[in-house]
Structure 1
C-alpha cells in the first residue's frame, strides 16, 4: 500500500453527498491516471460509495477517511476499503483497524503525536491540518528528530495545487492528501471531465516534484 501511494504521491480526499456519484467519480480519476482515492465518512453516502467503487473498480486502492469511531472502521472494511485514515490519533481506532485487517494511518500534528504513533507501530501518518499546523516548515522540523525512524507523512488540510511541489520535495512526505481536483462543487455538478483534467495536472506536478 505504501509503495502504491508513494508511486502516485496524490491521494484525493472525496466527500460524496450521493452514492450515485461514486462510480462516475472513480471513472474520472482513472481516466486522469489516478488509481487511489479516499472517501471520507463525513456523509451518509460514504459507506455505499465505497461499496460501489470496490465492486466495480477493484484496481483502485480504496481508502476510507475521517474514521473516528470503531463502528465506522468495521463498516469501511466491510464495504471494501483497503486502508483507513483519521484526523487524530486514537489507540482504540488503531486496535480496531488491526482487528478487522484494515491498514490504518492516524492523524498527527505534534511531536508527541508522532511518538505515540510510533509506539503503536504506525509509520505512515496523516499530518492534519497541514497548513494550519505549520505546513512545510513544521514537517521539516518533525523530520529532524523522526525521519530516521522511517516515518512518512501524508499532509492534508488546506493544501492547494500551488503548494503541491513544496510539500512533495520533502523526503519525509509520502504523498499529498488534497481535495482541489475532486472539489465537492465539481462532484455535485457532475463535471467529470474537469475532474479528469485537474487529476492529470496534479499527477504531472507530482512527477515534476521528484
Structure 2
C-alpha cells in the first residue's frame, strides 16, 4: 500500500459540515445506513471502534457503498489503525493523541484527525505535523469559548469539535474561523437504525447541509 493518503485530513473535514460519529451494533445496518447518509450528502463516515461488529461494518461499507469514504473512529493504538486499514478505512479519528498512533496512520496511508483537549496536546500533535485536529470532548472541554481562546496561540490549527455537539449548537461552532466541520452522532440515531428508518437518516444528513458556512 502507498503511504500517501487518498484524502488529506483537511479534505475529510471540508467534505460536509458534519462528520457522523457512528456506533454500529449490527452488520446488517451498515450498508443501508451508509447509503442513507450518502443520499443526504454526507460521505465521510466515521465508524467507531466501540463494538465487536465495527470492523465488519467498515468492510461491508467499503465493499458495497463505493460513494462513501469509510473512516475509523476511536483509534487508540497501532493495532487499531492496522485493523481499520485492513477493513477498508481511508481515514482515522482518535480520542487523544500519541506519536505511535500518528506514525502508524502515516505508515498505513490513513489521514488522521487526532483528538486534543488541551494546549499541550495540540503542541504534541503539531510537533508531529498534524494541524487539523479533533477537539474532544468539545462541550465538556470548554466548547466554543475554548476554541476562541485557542485561535490566538494556535492560529494555524483547524478543528473538528466532537462530543456534545448537536444540530442546535453546531452553528455556534461552525461560525468560528478555526472550525471546519463538527462531529456528531445525532445524524445516525440508534432508534432510527434499529427500526430501519433510513429515510429519516437521509433527512437528518440533508438538514446538516444548511449548516455549511
TM-score computed with the length of structure 1 as normaliser = 0.94
Specify the SS of the correspondent of 1:146. coil
Which of 80, 85, 100 lines up with 1:92 in the alignment? 100
1:157 aligns with 2:163: yes
CA contact (8 A) 2:40 2:202 kept: yes
Of 5, 9, 22, which residue of structure 1 is paired with 2:30? 22
Partner of 2:188: 182
Which residues in structure 2 correspond to 1:41-120 (within 5 Å)? 41-120=49-128
Query: Could you say which structure has the higher helix fraction?
Result: 1
Residues 160 and 181 of structure 2 are in contact (CA less than 8 Å); yes or no, is this contact kept in structure 1?
A: yes
| Equivalent residue for 1:193, pick from 196, 199, 208 | 199
Residue ranges of structure 1 left out of the alignment (5+ in a row) = none
Structure 1 residues 4, 65: CA separation in 2 closer, same or farther (over 3 Å shift)?
A: closer
Other-structure match for 2:40? 32
Instruction: Answer whether contact 2:13 2:160 (CA < 8 A) is retained.
Output: no
DSSP 3-state at the match of 2:45? strand
Equivalence for 1:5: 13
Query: CA shift at 1:111, angstroms?
Result: 0.8
Give secondary structure in 1 for the equivalent of 2:169: helix
Partners of 2:110 and 2:34 in 1: how far apart?
21
Partner SS, residue 125 of structure 1: strand
In 2, the alpha carbon distance for the partners of 1:57 and 1:142 equals 38
Distance in 1 of aligned mates of 2:90 and 2:176: 26
Which blocks of at least 5 consecutive residues in structure 2 are unaligned?
1-6
Report the secondary structure of 2:168's partner residue.
helix
* Structure 2 equivalent of residue 129 of structure 1: 137
